[in-house]
């Protein structure tokens, strides 16, 4: 094959050649064509190309279609390299201006710049508060490379870590390096990756077969960090997996797997392209970089259920069975896929591996909390990507060092609560994470602190809630989600979650009874302690954490039949107060036609017909509708 790189030194030669052919001053327009396509970023691509062609500039200026830059809320995003000028909410009409002024004359198009809270324009990515307080390591190259170009990745130093691993390290030394780094699994449990690698390497296998798998199922609603890495920088994940395979002692056959969520067609496509290119270049497949080490990877599309992301369910699903978890008393590193020793890591976990090799142990252990010397559980090292969503001003993907505080993430990076409302809680860790109150805002975010507080790191979901949120209703929502997503195998999870839903439903419906809280706590404990897999074991987290931190709110629902946040419909009433001017708008809009009154006179609501839809409150301009 023409492009095949035959040795470690040839990789360096090839990289130098690439760099020599690239002018670092050459202007490049980087357009996010990940989620931003939903806001029309492909049209921007066409517009840029046409406009450049019209002006005869297509040979002078490059266009790069990149993965997600993280600040999706401001999409479509366009970054002009090498200056790093950051344009947001770019429209097709803006294209000629950008070319005319920024690309040709090095001027800024002020209207497209982000303005900070004081109205000051931020020309570069690093000036934008959303980015300024982040530490973008894993996502650093997402706005710099075309994910379908292996040359881009190599030019930025890609596969150097693999070359280093294969030529300068023994597999044992690599395992030790990852162990010493304190890298912990980013997919849920925070299990030290090096410890897992070591167990898998040592596990007996009669025919030597070992499986290497990447968990890219990402089933948490609202989470998209793994997707962003795969769509934006797929080779980073592949490189991590190949290094891992070498360290773990993969015999060259059979292939490893990337188990990608079914709803991620673009990730499947981009990873597929990356695999093909890596094979062509001799970075994957037989005799990688001429070192004699062989390893290949295959994409497996997910089974479509949240629970399929659980390790044993995932393996059952690859084997073609129903994605149901099994007991892990014999670990999957000993008997996993097809009963062979299997090493499963999350996308983000794998993506960290090349960086640790590239920048070294000290760099990695210098980021984060605790001390991992001699104890991989002793802290949380490196960065973590969070999907920040909910009632914050800046939503998107946020990469911070472990140990950043919730306050920094939500207020400095997230820009605080929408509409200046009060912060109420943040749920970390996905649907089975806990909800943490404002008294914990200064808590540092790491694996152990989050668990102590009754939540978890999970895969890095972060949902911010404001004062208008009812915490009982939140628990109710997640319990229902998890009851639906339970595989239904074990009684405690299947029946337990259904019964928790029944009790919380009745509390929200105003039929809570004395003793319900205790019943919830008792049942929650058993669901957590006696269920088979981590779905059931963590499912009571949203419930238990809200009881722990917002007990009074439950009591108000049960005892006083009141919902303080005015969310639970059965517990609120709408009435019209004397601020009413008799404008009649609400009467016209009420879907139940249950508001009556003469023009310019006080209106009244017929409570027996009111369905508490809130429309009257929304339409009244005089603050005359009271909700109690």
Partner 1 sequence: MSHEDTPKGAKITFQVDGRACEGFHHESLLGALRRLGFEVPSLCFHEAVSTYGACRLCLVEVQKGRKSRITTSCNFPVTAGLQVRLDTPAVQQNRKIVFQLLLAKAPASPEVRALAAEYGVHSTPYKVSEEAKDNKCILCGLCARVCTEVVGANAIAFSGRGSHKDMVAPYDEAAEACIGCGACVEVCPTHCIGLRETPEIRTIEKWHRDLPLQKCEKCGRPFAPTFQLMTLGKRVGMKLSDFKVCNDCR
Enumerate helices (H) and strands (E) in the chain, giving the number of each. Answer: 25, 21
Among 40, 378, 488, 582, binds partner 1 (CB under 8 A): 488
**Contact 568/560 with Cβ under 8 angstroms?**
no
Q: Which one of 224-232, 238-246, 366-374, 490-498 is the stretch in contact with ligand SF4 (CB under 6 A)? A: 490-498
> Of 526-565, which residues contact partner 1 (CB under 8 A)?
526, 529-532
Q: Which does 526 bind (CB under 5 to 8 A by kind): ligand FES, partner 1, ligand SF4, none?
A: partner 1
- The answer to whether 532 and 327 are in contact (CB under 8 A) is yes
Instruction: Identify the residue among 41, 233, 349, 369 touching ligand FMN (CB under 6 A).
Output: 349
Binding residues among 442-481 for ligand FMN as defined by CB under 6 A: 459
- C-alpha atoms less than 13 angstroms from C-alpha of 124 in its C-beta half-sphere: 7
Strands 423-428 and 461-466: antiparallel
- Residue 223, classed as helix, strand or coil, is coil
Per rule CB under 8 A, is residue 83 in the interface with partner 1?
no
User: From the list ligand SF4, partner 1, ligand FES, none, which binds 329 (C-beta under 5 to 8 Å, kind-based)?
Assistant: partner 1
For residues 460 and 404, is the Cβ–Cβ distance under 8 A? no
| Beta strand residue intervals within 409-505, DSSP E | 423-428, 435-437, 461-466
Q: Which of 29, 535, 571, 624 binds ligand FMN (CB under 6 A)?
A: 535
- How many chain residues touch ligand SF4 (CB under 6 A)? 42
Q: Which stretch binds ligand SF4 (CB under 6 A): 5-13, 123-131, 248-256, 529-537?
A: 529-537
Beta strands in 525-627 (DSSP E): 574-576, 595-596, 604-605, 625-627
Write out the binding residues for ligand SF4, residues 292-311 only, by CB under 6 A. Answer: 307
DSSP one-letter code for 524 = H
Any bridge partners for residue 63, and if so which? 29
For ligand FMN, the binding residue among 122, 156, 200, 344 (CB under 6 A) is 344
Task: Supply the DSSP symbol for 28.
Answer: E
Q: Which residues contact 194 (CB under 8 A, 6 or more apart)?
A: 175, 176, 177, 178, 179, 180, 181, 183, 376
| Cα–Cα dist 626/628, whole Å | 6
SS3 state at 305: coil
Residue 523 touches partner 1, criterion: CB under 8 A: yes
- For the chain, what is the largest distance between any 2 Cα atoms, rounded to a whole number of angstroms? 89
Q: Give the nearer residue to ligand SF4 in terms of CB position, either 177 or 493.
A: 493
Stretch that binds partner 1, among 119-127, 293-301, 493-501, 613-621 (CB under 8 A): 493-501
Cα 464 to Cα 396, 415, 467, 469, distances in angstroms: 12, 12, 10, 10
DSSP 75: P
Minimum CB separation of residue 532 from ligand SF4 in Å reads 4
Q: Where does this chain touch partner 1 (CB under 8 A) — which range of 31-39, 163-171, 469-477, 488-496?
A: 488-496
Minimum distance, C-beta of residue 190 to ligand FES, in the bound complex (Å):
26
Helix/strand/coil (H/E/C) assignment for every residue in 429-447: CCCCCCEEEHHHCCCECCH
Minimum CB separation from ligand FMN for residue 537, in Å? 8
CB under 8 A: which stretch of 46-54, 174-182, 490-498, 615-623 binds partner 1? 490-498
In our burial notation (b when 16+ CB lie closer than 10 A, e otherwise), range 439-475 reads ebbebbbbbbbbbebbbbbbbbbbbbbbeebbbbbbb
User: Quick one: angle between helices 234-248 and 265-280, nearest 10?
Assistant: 60
Of 416 and 614, nearer to ligand SF4 (C-beta) is 614
Nearer to ligand FES, 72 or 289 (CB): 72
483 forms part of the interface with partner 1 (CB under 8 A): yes
* Residue from the set 155, 212, 297, 307 that interacts with ligand FMN by CB under 6 A: 307
- 44 is a site residue for ligand FMN (CB under 6 A): no
Nearer to ligand FMN, 449 or 556 (CB): 449
How many whole angstroms separate alpha carbon 8 and alpha carbon 159?
A: 10
Are 66 and 147 within 8 A, CB to CB?
yes
Residue 112 or 479: the one with the smaller Cβ distance to partner 1 is 479
- Token pair listed for 72: 């999706």
Q: Which does 332 bind (CB under 5 to 8 A by kind): partner 1, ligand FMN, ligand FES, none?
A: none
198 three-class SS: helix
Q: How far is the CB of 458 from ligand FMN (least distance, A)?
A: 8
Does 535 sit near ligand SF4 (CB under 6 A)?
yes
User: Are the beta carbons of 585 and 614 closer than 8 angstroms?
Assistant: no
Chosen from partner 1, ligand FMN, ligand FES, none, partner binding at 189 (C-beta under 5 to 8 Å by type): ligand FMN
Here's the x/- map for ligand SF4, 575-614, by CB under 6 A: it reads as -x---xxxxxxx---xxx-xx-------x-x----xxxxx
CB 535 within 8 Å of CB 493: yes
Instruction: Select from 415, 434, 536, 542 the one that contacts ligand SF4 (CB under 6 A).
Output: 536
Specify the stretch interacting with ligand FMN by CB under 6 A; choose among 210-218, 504-512, 554-562, 584-592: 210-218
- Residue 208 within binding range of partner 1, rule CB under 8 A: no
Q: Where are the alpha helices (DSSP H) in 220-346?
A: 225-232, 234-248, 265-280, 311-318
CB of 377 to partner 1, least distance (A): 13
Pick between residue 262 and residue 291 the one whose CB is nearest to ligand FMN. Answer: 262
Give Cβ neighbours of residue 452 (< 8 Å, ≥ 6 apart): none
Interface stretch with ligand SF4, choices 17-25, 38-46, 255-263, 572-580 (CB under 6 A):
572-580
Which residue in the set 487, 500, 508, 547 belongs to the binding site for ligand SF4 (CB under 6 A)?
A: 487
Q: Which does 309 bind (CB under 5 to 8 A by kind): ligand SF4, ligand FMN, ligand FES, none?
A: ligand FMN
Residue 187 touches which of ligand FMN, ligand SF4, ligand FES, none (Cβ within 5-8 Å per kind)? ligand FMN
Which tokens go with 310?
């659980």
Name the β-bridge partners of 86.
Answer: 79
Least CB distance from residue 307 to ligand FMN, whole Å?
A: 5
- Interacting positions 382-441 with partner 1 (CB under 8 A): none
Query: Residues 404, 407, 410, CA angle at the centre, nearest 5°?
Result: 100
DSSP 411: I
Q: Which residues bind partner 1 (CB under 8 A)?
A: 202-204, 305, 307, 322, 326-327, 329-330, 334, 483-492, 494-499, 502, 519, 522-523, 526, 529-532
Q: Which residues bind ligand SF4 (CB under 6 A)?
A: 307, 325, 486-490, 493-494, 531-533, 535-536, 574, 576, 580-586, 590-592, 594-595, 603, 605, 610-616, 619-620, 622, 624-625
């Amino acid at each position: 094959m023409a492009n095949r790189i035959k040795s470690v030194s040839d990789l360096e030669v090839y990289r130098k050649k690439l760099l020599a052919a690239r002018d670092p001053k050459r202007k490049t327009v980087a357009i996010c064509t990940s989620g931003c396509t939903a806001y029309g970023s492909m049209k921007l691509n066409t517009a840029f190309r046409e406009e450049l062609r019209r002006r005869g500039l297509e040979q002078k200026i490059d266009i790069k279609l990149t993965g997600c830059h993280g600040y999706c809320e401001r999409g479509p995003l366009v970054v002009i390299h090498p200056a790093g000028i950051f344009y947001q909410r770019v429209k097709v009409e803006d294209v000629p201006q950008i070319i005319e002024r920024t690309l040709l004359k090095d001027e800024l198009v002020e209207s497209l710049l982000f303005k900070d809270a004081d109205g000051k324009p931020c020309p570069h990515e690093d000036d934008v508060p959303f980015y300024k307080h982040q530490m973008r390591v894993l996502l650093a190259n997402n706005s710099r490379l075309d994910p379908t170009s292996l040359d881009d990745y190599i030019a930025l130093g890609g596969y150097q870590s693999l070359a280093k691993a294969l030529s300068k390290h023994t597999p044992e030394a690599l395992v030790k390096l990852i162990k010493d780094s304190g890298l912990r699994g980013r997919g849920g449990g925070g299990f030290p990756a090096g410890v897992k690698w070591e167990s898998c390497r040592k596990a007996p296998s009669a025919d030597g077969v070992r499986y290497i798998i990447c968990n890219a199922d990402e089933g948490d609603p609202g989470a998209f960090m793994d997707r962003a890495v795969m769509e934006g920088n797929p080779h980073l994940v592949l490189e991590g997996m190949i290094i891992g395979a070498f360290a773990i002692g993969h015999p060259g056959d059979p292939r490893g797997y990337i188990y990608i969520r079914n709803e991620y067609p673009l990730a499947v496509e981009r990873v597929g392209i990356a695999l093909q290119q890596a094979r062509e270049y001799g970075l994957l497949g037989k005799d990688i970089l001429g070192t004699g080490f062989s390893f290949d990877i295959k994409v497996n599309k997910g089974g479509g259920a949240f629970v399929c992301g659980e390790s044993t369910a995932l393996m059952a699903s690859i084997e073609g069975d129903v994605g149901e978890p099994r007991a892990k008393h014999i670990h999957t590193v000993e008997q996993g896929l097809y009963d062979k020793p299997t090493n499963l890591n999350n996308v983000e976990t794998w993506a960290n591996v090349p960086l640790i090799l590239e920048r070294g142990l000290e760099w990695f252990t210098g980021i984060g909390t605790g001390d991992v010397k001699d104890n991989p559980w002793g802290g949380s090292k490196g960065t973590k990507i969070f999907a920040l969503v909910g009632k914050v001003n800046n939503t998107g993907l946020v990469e911070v060092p472990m140990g950043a505080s919730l306050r920094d993430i939500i207020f400095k990076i997230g820009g605080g609560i929408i509409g200046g409302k009060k912060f109420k809680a943040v749920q970390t860790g996905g649907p089975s994470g806990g909800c943490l109150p404002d008294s914990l805002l200064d808590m540092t975010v790491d694996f152990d602190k989050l668990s102590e507080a009754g939540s978890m790191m999970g895969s890095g979901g972060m949902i911010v809630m404001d004062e208008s949120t009812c915490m009982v209703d939140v628990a109710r929502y997640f319990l229902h989600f998890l009851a639906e997503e339970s595989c239904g195998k074990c009684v405690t999870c299947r029946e337990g979650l259904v019964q928790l839903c029944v009790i919380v439903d009745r509390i929200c419906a105003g039929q809570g009874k004395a003793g319900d809280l205790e019943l919830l706590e008792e049942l929650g404990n058993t669901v957590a302690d006696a269920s088979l897999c981590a779905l059931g074991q963590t499912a009571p987290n949203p419930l238990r954490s809200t009881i722990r931190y917002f007990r009074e709110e439950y009591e108000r629902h049960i005892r006083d039949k009141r919902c303080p946040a005015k969310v639970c419909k059965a517990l609120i009433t709408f009435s019209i107060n004397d601020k009413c001017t008799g404008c009649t708008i609400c009467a016209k809009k009420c879907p139940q036609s249950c508001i009556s009154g003469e023009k310019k006179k006080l209106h009244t609501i017929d409570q027996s017909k009111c369905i508490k839809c809130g429309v009257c409150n929304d339409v009244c301009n005089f603050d005359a509708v009271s909700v109690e």
